Amino acid sequence: MFELINYVWISVAVITFLLLVIFKIKAPYGRHSNNKWGAVISNKWGWFIMELPAFLIMPIITLMGPAEKNELTYLLVLLWLLHYFNRTFIFPFKLKTKDKKMPLIIVFSAILFNSVNGFLNGYFLGYLNTELSSVISLNVIIGLVIFFTGMYINKNADKHLISLRTRNENYQIPYGSMFKYISCPNHFGEVIEWIGFMLIACNLPSMTFAIWTFCNLSPRSLNHHKWYKERFDNYPKNRKAILPYIL
């Protein structure tokens, strides 16, 4: 039954991806915000509220579950907390989006997304995990390198974008680092992070989450990329949206 739930959730991710791409739907927050989606909340508090469930649910379910734990279990919880501590308690309050609002429907959708992903990963580690792999293994080492590379790319891109808004309230073309190749290295970095996490965990829920991350972020990256090209006549023509040289 648990495997079936994961496969259904993957199917929802693929369907969501197709709908967002085919119908060119722009999630109405950030640069794509508008007043057509009902009640709104402050951007900062919207981010905080919608990321908090992920920060709490996965670690609590994992650590309270009866399954035996080892160093790898605690490593996965630590990596999860590292990512979501930044997304919940640091990133939202660094944003320089003065007076920007986020529709409550986006917040509630993200709460559902984060709650399901947190539950699936936590339930497997806390209740179903019977094969305790060693923390000293090739897949863990490679996964850690990929995870922290993705985290660095993600945080560095966020920092750069925030600094541009600090100096000027208007949007500007970002340059340097991974922005040389893609419009959304922050999204690319997050996808890379969860691929690394998947390699470390080597289980179905972590793969489900990695697939969901790509299906959720790549359409938004395509929308950002199109927005940049429409807004700036001098936007670099050789940049891709989220995958260097590919997409």
Tell me how far CA of residue 139 lies from CA of 5, 14, 114, 146, 204, in angstroms: 26, 26, 25, 10, 15
Least Cα distance to 113 among 31, 198, 215 occurs for 215
69 domain residue, yes or no: yes
56 domain residue, yes or no: yes
For residue 117 the two structure tokens come to 């992903």
The SS3 call for residue 45 is: helix
Domain count, the chain: 1
Range of the domain at 90: 2-231
240 domain residue, yes or no: no
* Residue range 142-177, pLDDT digits in tens: 999 999 999 999 999 999 998 887 666 678 888 988
228, 95, 208, 216 alpha-carbon torsion, rounded to 10°: -30
36 domain residue, yes or no: yes
Return the exposure string of 86-103: e unless at least 16 CB atoms fall within 10 Å of the residue's CB, then b: bbbeebbeebebeebbbb
CA distance 117 to 124: 11
CA distance 44 to 32: 16
Q: Is 176 left (phi over 0), alpha (psi -120 to 50) or beta?
A: left
236 domain residue, yes or no: no
Average pLDDT, the chain: 91
Q: pTM for the complete prediction? A: 0.92
Going from the first residue of the chain to its last (247 residues), give the mean pLDDT of each consecutive group of 10, the final group possibly shorter.
95 94 77 75 92 97 93 96 97 82 91 97 92 84 98 95 75 88 95 98 96 96 91 90 91
128 domain residue, yes or no: yes
180 domain residue, yes or no: yes
245 domain residue, yes or no: no
